[in-house]
Structure 1
Amino acid sequence: MTDAVKGSCCAVSRNASQPPPAAAATVRDAPVTAGQRADPIFIPGGRSHVGTDKPEIPLDGEGPARSVKLNPFHLEAEAVTVRRFADFVAAKGYVSEAERFGWSAVFAGLLPPDSDVNGNAPSTPWWVRIDGAYWHQPEGPGSNTDDRLDHPVTQISLADAQAFAEWVGGRLPSEAEWERAAHGGVRGRKFTWGNAEPDDETIFCNIWQGQFPHHNTMADGYMATAPARSFEPNEGGFYNMAGNVWEWTADPYRIRSLSRHAKKRNADAVAADERLLKGGSFLCHISYCYRYRIAARMALTPDSAASNVGFRVAYDA
């Protein structure tokens, strides 16, 4: 798997030497009806901020906080669910990138012991390559999404997310828009609910409890994803902007710094066309991946997909 993915603690970037095969053309007798928005929440334009003056992982480019000016926009209250993505696939005849590659990255803890694993990322052995894994069978052949239609769809690449967003007349949010919705206009807030730290007993969101990656106590009730509308929303009405699934944004991954590290990291990001994701996932834990904070960030190549990668949709006002 070393030639297939580049491992990180949070997810894995696909490192394919060849692009996926083109999707087969779909012939239809009637025009495809556009999809419907799902509870978009209006956020007025004006001054906001992105990043933090107290970065926990400075090398990720979390700080310093900087002022930004936003146009008014709408953002959906929840991540796009399996049910909605299935409707999109049925309407458009869409074939996801993971299907066209023929495999995707799966968190090993979700697999039965006899699973057919085709390698892993040496630095992160909990990520394994599973042939046939894609959004509808996210753990590979024999799995399905019938019991999680209201959960966020996963195994989604950037192109998959953009295609769905276009179908409903929207787009992906920028990092600044995503953070504006998450912090509700409160400068310096660490988490979407405030500054209280979650731990293995104090539950605010769907992250890992216990010793990662060997034992999850599931104190929050979930081994993997939770329903898109689980846990309490923040003051703005947004659900699960911490944990559950990483969410694609419209931005490339860049670090705003003049340091030698930033210049090297940005050059690598440009070469790989890495894109920015926000929010953390059900695999985050303070002991190794403290990225369920608002300012936290992650990079993936745009054709990547994994057990903990989804998205939500924004709209111009």
Structure 2
Amino acid sequence: MTWVPGGAFTMGSDRFYPEEAPLRRVSVDAFWIDTTPVTNRQFAAFVEATGYTTIAQIAPDPKNYPGMLPGMDQAGSLVFRKTSGPVDLADPSNWWHFEFGADWRHPAGPEEDLDNLDLWDHPVVHVAYADALAYSHWAGKRLPTEAEFEFAARGGLVSKEYAWGDELAPDGSMMANYWQGLFPFANQMLDGWEGTSPVGTYPANSYGIVDMIGNTWEWTSDWWSDRRTVIKVIKKSKGSCCTLSNPRGGTLKNSFDSSQPGVRIGRKVLKGGSHLCAANFCQRYRPAARHPEMIDTSTSHIGFRCVVEG
């Protein structure tokens, strides 16, 4: 693990997506954070020690998912499939496919097994929130808050959009694993990777932490809150002059997706972006970026890391 000294910083961004605003002063206490995302090798040790079964390895109960199509009550997870050409970017079903048999040991489906792939030092994927939480408890750790993750990702840099400065690719150097080219069909692979990469492939930030940006999204412990909720929290403080100390996200109630009124599954905050973030679609390879994810969902581009109190 890597020591993060704690301190105050300006959280958020007002240059990219509305859910990242407003800018606000935040402080976090010192803590230890995993130097890398949890790898397949580390997760395998957890499974071997505990016999744990991930959510993706358990068939969903139709009673919990009204309207489930016939035949969908099988274990599996969401897998990214590159398209053959341009598609409607407003419809994620063009590239996300629920694959029966996809799980952490079979990242692209049952035909691919970690025993036959050189992926042991890649971030574990196809882990839902409960899976990440179970691992953290076994390891004697916990999941980071959104503020802790962003503070650690910034590495002490002030008012910089990226974890390494203000240029995405300084002097043409790839600083993280993200999508170069037109998503979701043309990946130039300037970074050398089509999917996930081994942890530590890219330079560490100023704190010595790797892969805080790109490679895989990472779970945090905070419930999702939108921009309006953030503004309310700031207004409830003693004024804009004051720093929010160790803030937490929203609540289970306000984490629900209002566009899906029949779905009552809470959403947690993901941070860091992934290898699927691209300039033409998802410029979330930045410390301030955030994304809501339902806690029962696992995909081929979501992982996690843990922290320990300082």
Mapped pair 1:162 → 2:122: no
- Specify the code of the residue in structure 1 equivalent to 2:41: R
**TM-score, scaled to structure 2:** 0.79
Residue of 22, 27, 42 corresponding to 1:64: 22
Q: 1:255 to 1:200 in 2, by over 3 A?
A: farther
Residue of 148, 151, 154 corresponding to 1:177: 148
Mapped pair 1:232 → 2:197: no
- Specify the code of the residue in structure 1 equivalent to 2:11: V
Which SS does the other structure have where 1:109 is aligned? Answer: coil
- Specify the code of the residue in structure 2 equivalent to 1:55: R
Mapped pair 1:73 → 2:73: no
Q: 1:266 to 1:200 in 2, by over 3 A?
A: farther
Unmatched 5+ stretches in structure 1: 1-39, 111-120
Residues 255-303 of structure 1 deviation map (CA, whole Å, 9 limit, x = unaligned)? 242699xx9x946448431110001100110111111111111111001
Q: What is the alpha-carbon distance in structure 1 between the residues aligned to residue 285 and residue 36 of structure 2? A: 16
Q: Which position in structure 2 is the counterpart of 1:273?
A: 266
Q: What is the alpha-carbon distance in structure 1 between the residues aligned to residue 2 and residue 295 of structure 2? A: 27
Which SS does the other structure have where 2:9 is aligned? Answer: strand
Question: Which residues in structure 2 correspond to 1:1-317 (within 5 Å)?
Answer: 40-52=1-13, 54-58=14-18, 61-101=19-59, 102-109=75-82, 123-146=92-115, 147-198=118-169, 202-257=173-228, 266=254, 268-269=256-257, 271-317=264-310
Q: 1:197 to 1:45 in 2, by over 3 A?
A: closer
| Displacement of 1:100 | 0.6
Q: 1:190 to 1:122 in 2, by over 3 A?
A: closer
Q: What is the alpha-carbon distance in structure 1 between the residues aligned to residue 140 and residue 27 of structure 2? A: 23
Q: What is the alpha-carbon distance in structure 1 between the residues aligned to residue 216 and residue 205 of structure 2? A: 17
Q: Which position in structure 2 is the counterpart of 1:10?
A: none
Which SS does the other structure have where 1:124 is aligned? Answer: helix
- Report if aligned partners of 1:85, 1:164 keep a CA contact under 8 Å in 2: yes
Q: What is the alpha-carbon distance in structure 2 between the residues aligned to residue 200 and residue 96 of structure 1? A: 42
Q: 1:236 to 1:129 in 2, by over 3 A?
A: same
RMSD: 2.4
Which SS does the other structure have where 1:189 is aligned? Answer: coil
Q: What is the alpha-carbon distance in structure 1 between the residues aligned to residue 171 and residue 159 of structure 2? A: 24
- Report if aligned partners of 2:255, 2:266 keep a CA contact under 8 Å in 1: no
Which SS does the other structure have where 2:190 is aligned? Answer: coil
- Report if aligned partners of 1:200, 1:209 keep a CA contact under 8 Å in 2: no
| Displacement of 1:209 | 1.6
Q: Decide which moves more: 243-252 or 189-198.
A: 189-198
> When the two structures are aligned, how many residues end up with a matched partner?
262
| Displacement of 1:199 | 9.0
Residues 124-161 of structure 1 deviation map (CA, whole Å, 9 limit, x = unaligned)? 31101110100000111110223110000000100110
